[in-house]
Structure 1
Amino acid sequence: MTSPGFRPTHVVPGHGMSAWEAPDPARPTVPLDAFLPVQLVERRGDWGRVLCANGWSAWVDGRSLVAVPQDPPTADGGPPARTADPRPLLARAERALNGYRASVEDLAAGGLDGEGFRARTRGVRVGVVVDGESVWLYDAEHGRWVYTDGTRLSTYATDAEPRAKAEPGHAPTQVVTPDGP
């Protein structure tokens, strides 16, 4: 169940993250799942208190959260220009899901054994979350989750590890959990 008006500001990194009841390493709680959308509601130094869609909150290492891109401002106040078309990615997700469904049907009908099913589905990765007009799609070709409202596509989270070398104008980042290295 999603809290009314919940709009994520960040997602949990791809490896998940530890969480605490308070900004105190001695009070751990349930860890957060990878790519979980959260709303950062408070900061205390490196600590960040996040709110989950179901209303649960916890303290995390705020430096490790991945920011969700916000809608870009438009020059004239009108609707944003169209960017990447979500339809090709939707078609790829549909093909991958149909292939997986066909493999399940063959397995259920006895046309495949467990090993054949594993071989046929090895490497298949599909992810789709639909919530009204909002859709999150896993783009396996580029190793990223993208968000679309039907008109534009933007990267939401990525599988890629951070680059070791900083880009010009950006400081290098070191990820350290609040309870030590």
Structure 2
Amino acid sequence: MTTPHFRPTHVVPQEGLPTWESPDPSRPSVPLDGLLPVQLVDRLGDWGRILCANGWSAWVDGRLLIAVPQEPPAASCPLTRTADPRPLLARVEEALTRYRAAAEELADGQLDGESFRGRTQGQRIGVVIDGESLWLYDGEHERWVYCDGTRLSTFAASEPLQDQAAKPVREQAPEDREPTRVVTFEEDDQGER
């Protein structure tokens, strides 16, 4: 369930982030997944208290968060090659269906932990829905996109947009991926100002 009025202000770095219950290194909590949109709600020195779309809150090293633009892309911004949201929505739905099927088999004892990891390895999806606004993680192109219901616009990407258009998508090991890059909305389709 999405927290009312959740507006992401930052994205977690691609490698994820450790969290703490309070701004105290002796109280670790559950780590955050990479590229997760979060809202920075408080600062205490280098510490930052974040809020997730589901209402969960924790403290992180605020210096490592990647800021995102304060406003979603305007409809007048140039569109990227994922302008139609339906194909990406279908891929997200398929990935979630595959994950749910594997999780149900694991819970029913029909699948062991190693087989579950094997069946779910490489699946990466992310969805934040807030009324008419939708943020989706496009794992194929390693970027977050914003959807207003009819069009997708790149919100944050791990590679410059011109590199994504020019190079075929290739599988990368997590340690060899570049950090997420926030896209400014003054950029044209070639990633130039």
TM-score bucket of the superposed structures, by smaller chain: 0.5 to 0.7
Distance in 2 (CA, whole Å) between partners of 1:83 and 1:18 is 36
Task: Tell me the TM-score normalised to structure 1 length.
Answer: 0.58
What is the aligned partner in structure 2 of residue 146 from structure 1? 145
CA offsets 1:10-60 (integer angstroms, 9 cap, x no match): 122222211111111111112122222211011122110111223221110
Q: Which position in structure 2 is the counterpart of 1:133?
A: 132
| Residue matched to 2:29 | 29
The range that moved more, 128-137 or 53-62, is 128-137
Q: Secondary structure at the match of 1:22?
A: coil
Q: Deviations over 1:100-131 (max 9, x none)?
A: x9xx9xxxxxxxxxxxxxxxx9x986746373
Matched, 1:155 2:155: yes
Query: Which residue type is aligned with residue 135 of structure 1?
Result: L
Contact conserved, 1:66 with 1:157, CA < 8 A, in 2? Answer: no
Q: Is the 8 A contact 2:127 2:137 kept in 1?
A: no
Deviation at 1:80, TM superposition (A): 5.1
Identity of matched residues, %: 55
- Does residue 14 (structure 1) correspond to residue 31 (structure 2)? The answer is no
Query: One-letter code of the match for 1:161?
Result: E
Larger Rg: 1
Counterpart contact for 1:48–1:59, Cα < 8 Å: yes
User: 1:68 maps to what in 2?
Assistant: 68
The Cα offsets for residues 60-114 of structure 1, whole Å up to 9 and x where unpaired, read as 01111122222279xxxxx75242154356446647978xx9xx9xxxxxxxxxx
Q: Residues 85 and 152 of structure 2 are in contact (CA less than 8 Å); yes or no, is this contact kept in structure 1?
A: no
Give the SS at the match of 1:87: coil
Structure 1: gaps of 5 or more residues: 74-78, 105-120, 164-181
CA distance in 1, matches of 2:57, 2:11: 14
Contact 1:93 1:126 in 2 (8 A): no
Match of 2:47 in 1: 47
Q: Tell me, in whole angstroms, the C-alpha distance in 1 between the residues paired with 2:15 and 2:87.
A: 28
Aligned length: 140
User: What TM-score do the two structures reach when normalised by structure 2?
Assistant: 0.55
The answer for the alignment partner of 1:173 in structure 2 is none
- Asked if structure 2 preserves the Cα contact closer than 8 Å seen for 1:23 and 1:59, the reply is yes
